[in-house]
Amino acid sequence: MASLKLASVFAVDLNCPSSSLAVVIDICRRAVETAMLLAPHDEMGLVLTGTNSINTVHRNNNNNNDNDSNMDSNSNKNDTCCNHYISVPCALAAPTVDFLEVLKHIEEEQQQRQLEEEEEKEKEKHEVDFLETLRICLQVMRERTEKKRYERIIYLFTDAHIDVKEKSDINNILESFKQLDISLVVVGINFSDIHNNNNNTDDYEEKDNDTEDSNICSLEHLPVKQQNEKVLHIMCDAIGNDSVVVCLEEALQSVMKPNRRKIAQRSLLKVTLTVGDVRLATQFYTKTREERLPALKRTTAEGLEVGVRTLYLGLSEDNTTPSPPLLQQKDVIKGFRYGRTLIACGGITTSSSTETTTTTKEESLKLNGTRSLEALGFVPLKQVPPYVLMGGVNVITPLADDKIGAKGFRSIVQAMVALDQAMIVRFVRTRDANPVLGLCVASQSEKRDVLFFSPLPYAEEVRSFTFSNFEDVCCTDEEEKLIASLVEDMTVDKSVFRPRETFNPVLQQFNDMLRIKLRACVDKGRSEGKETAIEEEKEKEEEEEVSLLDHLRATSTVFGSSGNRLEELLSSVQSKLKTCSNTFVFEANENNNNNNNSKSIHSFEAVRKAFALKRKDEFHSHTNASDVVEDTSTQTPSTVAAAVVVGTSSSSSYTTDAAVKRMGGSVSSSVATVAADTSSFKDTIKSTVDSIHLHVTTVDPIGTFQQMLQSHDVIVVQRAVDELAEVIFKLLRHSVKDAQYTKCVNCVELLRQHCLATGEANYFNNFMLRLMLISYELGHKTFWTSVVLAERGIRLITRCECPKSTIENEAAAIAFISQDRSIPNPILEENCNDDVLEMIV
């Protein structure tokens, strides 16, 4: 059954203390942002009490028709009292940015009040009791949801310090709550002993209205605030429907928790579990499901569909043309990527005396087999990292009618628990599907004997597991004590392995980014019409980037970064890790100086000297033939899903082969003549190890580029120039309208300054030519004409500025830019094979 829509009304008392009111506004803002992100169909309303200035700014919805007979007697009273001191700036509807603007307005007014004197504050206060507030909330709720199916909740934020005038209306209000099936959540500000009051009010549950009135009258000897607190507790117990009184801290903590979703256990499939010679029939159930980012529709803002056209591009032999040539569909063949190798799937023809048959490599590359779940080995449970269970987790149980198989399955699970072991399995979901390496962890509960299955993110994860013991490899007593102390300090609690409250860091980062964008929309709308709007927008953009980076660090995969939740765990064992690295020193085997090591040493030194002697002036793209054929990245794969942030591609990391190919093969002659020994190679690695890991990022391209320029290594400086140019193209490609124009043009100016200082005029001129072509191709013509040329006045580098430039004067620069370099559209065949669309160059 589908869940009902939630209708929530937030009633905020503006006469609360300033410190508490700031927390109340934060709670409301977080609740609205969560609803906009995760439940956009839910409806929310806002009622403000104790205010007179909000009525002049926002629409007052208090003059509503009331059809309930219990509320007719108080209608005149509401018109005289509530219209002055109670306002409804946001009626019950789906939350939008307007709701956040109201909260922002309240926050600004509260800051202005703090600057005024205390005497003036007391004059502006307009007090309203909580019964009047609840009456208006009922009117707002009834007007929208009276004849519809909703889940209704009213949140009352109050300190209950005002005496209630019309105490006889409490029975009518309780009946209205029960009639509309509304839950009441009272967020008490500075309430006394909330938990004790919740326990004491259990005595009032089975009493009638007359007894409740007598109990309320018996509280007259208490102060007004305590009387109101007791009445609110009694009202929550009388209403029911999970109505409760909570403190302000608990409410704030509840809205700050990570968002989780309950998944119903469903039977997925039945598979045979094979452990050695034992075969058991089992079935899979869903335990947790990995959430994915929301899919974007392929439509424009006007509602038009986005056309997709497939083009096949080749690589020019001389590598001098700005755009690669187009290929015909008949000239491309299909290929599969396995690791770092690209395997072409061409047809293989075999002939005989009788007939000729043709087979394809594509069929031979597929793995054929039935559905299976095979155990590969058992590893210690302490070696299993907690992030393995952060994705989708399934429960493995024996079949319900297989009693003999259930006994064997329970024996395996109990043995795994007793030995503290986890099982590595090979899982094939369907027939002829690719196998997946997975991990099975036994349940720690004595009531059930099941296995939790989760796929390993990468096959490389099995390298760190200990499958068996080797007697010839032994450690000393000191080393064993050191390893044991490290394992004890880094062992996680059992609750980490329970997949009940896990969350995906990607979704947390995605939601944080949307929250900041929503707040930016509010601030941007309020700053319109001011003289210093441009300066304020720049300052707020810097604040947004800083706050967004803080959120990303807190939930990123870099667990050692400042603000991350696992920072304390890593910092506590940092000293022992250093001691371990000093104890287990890596020593190279001197006898293992084979030809491969000498070749790598010669290649590295040759590339360094070749880059110091020669630098091509033409601008090269990172997506060349070497990147398509083989993967030159040497970085370790991430252990969990990383945040969706546009960054430098893996091809931007320079390796020996990529660097040799980038020089066009001119280094091959020098490689054979240059020789270096092992000591010089180690010194070179030690001097450049800090600079190799630096890259120009899209978050701060100017800062990272300047940081890389401080290195004295020629390769790092040249790589920084190429990465800055590539980052400019990335930012322009992912820019929504003019969002990234400022950052791009600042990077272009920095690149021109560097090329002019180093005498690389032709490099910058070729870069400007490609920037113009890409701007026109991506639909950012305004960036080139209005921003680069008109606003900033960036021009090509002529011979007047740099003697090495091939462009003589300004007229030649204009002719160089305005030259027609368009490529005619390719002639496509009418009868196209559908399989050709899946081919890879």
* Residue that wins the pLDDT comparison between 597 and 645: 597
Report the pLDDT averaged over residues 705-711: 85
Return the pLDDT at 50: 77
Q: What letter represents residue 635's amino acid?
A: Q
- In terms of domains, do 59 and 168 share one? yes
E-strand ranges in 494-645 read none
Return the pLDDT at 434: 79
Backbone angles phi, psi at 286, to 5 degrees: -80, 125
Flag the least confident range among 29-38, 82-91, 282-291, 616-625. 616-625
469 — pLDDT class (breaks 50, 70, 90): low
Sequence-separated (6 or more) residues with CB below 8 Å from residue 687? 713
Tell me how far CA of residue 419 lies from CA of 379, 410, 440, 449, 451, in angstroms. Answer: 10, 14, 14, 15, 15
Q: What is the pLDDT of residues 636-647, one digit of tens each?
A: 333 333 333 333
Q: What is the pLDDT of residues 812-835, one digit of tens each?
A: 888 777 766 555 555 544 544 444
Assign residue 383 the CATH number of its domain.
Answer: 2.40.290.10
- In terms of domains, do 57 and 110 share one? yes
Q: What is the pLDDT of residues 484-534, one digit of tens each?
A: 766 565 454 444 444 445 456 667 667 777 777 777 777 666 655 555 555
Return the pLDDT at 749: 92
Report the pLDDT averaged over residues 708-724: 85
- In terms of domains, do 496 and 513 share one? no
Residue 315 has pLDDT above 90, yes or no: no
- In terms of domains, do 353 and 409 share one? yes
- In terms of domains, do 340 and 414 share one? yes
Return the pLDDT at 349: 42
Residue 576 has pLDDT above 60, yes or no: yes
The DSSP call for residue 204 is: G
Sequence-separated (6 or more) residues with CB below 8 Å from residue 805? 761, 762, 765, 797, 798, 799
Question: What is the pLDDT of the chain when averaged over all its residues?
Answer: 71
Could you tell me what percent of the chain has a pLDDT over 70?
A: 58
Tell me the residue range of the domain where 23 lies. Answer: 6-193+242-255
575 — pLDDT class (breaks 50, 70, 90): confident
The answer to whether residue 455 sits within a structural domain is yes
* Residue that wins the pLDDT comparison between 777 and 215: 777
Dump the DSSP string for 310-376. --EE---SS--SSSPPEE-GGG---EEEETTEEEE--EEEEE-SS-EEEEEHHHHHS-----EEEEE
Triad 170, 183, 131: Cα angle to 5°: 25
- In terms of domains, do 247 and 278 share one? no
How far is the C-alpha of 521 from the C-alpha of 36, rounded, in Å? 14
Report the pLDDT averaged over residues 444-469: 76
Return the pLDDT at 669: 35
- In terms of domains, do 34 and 166 share one? yes
341 — pLDDT class (breaks 50, 70, 90): low
Residue 747 has pLDDT above 90, yes or no: yes
Flag the least confident range among 557-561, 590-594, 620-624, 798-802. 620-624
- In terms of domains, do 278 and 140 share one? no
Q: What is the pLDDT of residues 96-113, one digit of tens each?
A: 888 999 898 888 887 777
Residue 595 has pLDDT above 60, yes or no: no
Return the pLDDT at 744: 92
Six token digits for residue 763: 């490099």
The answer to whether residue 480 sits within a structural domain is no
Return the pLDDT at 526: 60
Residue 119 has pLDDT above 60, yes or no: no
Six token digits for residue 827: 């002639």
- In terms of domains, do 404 and 290 share one? yes
357 — pLDDT class (breaks 50, 70, 90): very low
The answer to whether residue 224 sits within a structural domain is no
E-strand ranges in 404-523 read 421-428, 436-442, 451-455
Q: Flag whether the pTM goes above 0.75.
A: no
* Residue that wins the pLDDT comparison between 216 and 274: 274
Return the pLDDT at 635: 38
Return the pLDDT at 301: 66
Report the candidate in 776, 806, 804, 800 with the shortest Cα–Cα distance to residue 788.
776
The answer to whether 624 and 661 have CB atoms below 8 angstroms apart is yes
Flag the least confident range among 165-174, 386-395, 607-616, 632-641. 632-641
* Residue that wins the pLDDT comparison between 60 and 440: 440
How far is the C-alpha of 191 from the C-alpha of 401, rounded, in Å? 56
Q: What is the pLDDT of residues 176-205, one digit of tens each?
A: 888 888 899 999 888 876 655 555 554 444
Return the pLDDT at 356: 40
Q: Identify which of 118-122, 286-290, 386-390, 567-571 has the greatest average pLDDT.
A: 286-290
How far is the C-alpha of 357 from the C-alpha of 334, rounded, in Å? 20
Q: What is the pLDDT of residues 215-241, one digit of tens each?
A: 555 666 777 888 888 888 888 888 888
Report the pLDDT averaged over residues 599-614: 44
Q: What is the pLDDT of residues 53-81, one digit of tens each?
A: 544 333 344 444 444 444 444 444 444 34
How far is the C-alpha of 729 from the C-alpha of 745, rounded, in Å? 11
Return the pLDDT at 453: 92
* Residue that wins the pLDDT comparison between 275 and 554: 275
Return the pLDDT at 54: 44
* Residue that wins the pLDDT comparison between 162 and 633: 162
The answer to whether residue 839 sits within a structural domain is no
Assign residue 83 the CATH number of its domain.
Answer: 3.40.50.410
Return the pLDDT at 653: 38
- In terms of domains, do 248 and 288 share one? no
Return the pLDDT at 329: 80
The answer to whether residue 272 sits within a structural domain is yes
- In terms of domains, do 168 and 291 share one? no
Strands 151-158 and 6-13: parallel
Report the candidate in 439, 426, 427 with the shortest Cα–Cα distance to residue 384.
439
The answer to whether residue 751 sits within a structural domain is no
Domain count, the chain: 3
The answer to whether residue 187 sits within a structural domain is yes
Burial of 47 (0-12, 13-18, 19+ CB in 10 A): buried
- In terms of domains, do 94 and 17 share one? yes
727 — pLDDT class (breaks 50, 70, 90): very high
Residue 362 has pLDDT above 90, yes or no: no
Could you tell me what percent of the chain has a pLDDT over 90?
A: 7
Return the pLDDT at 429: 86
* Residue 585 backbone zone (phi > 0: left; psi -120 to 50: alpha; other: beta): beta
The answer to whether residue 799 sits within a structural domain is no
Return the pLDDT at 200: 54
How far is the C-alpha of 286 from the C-alpha of 454, rounded, in Å? 11
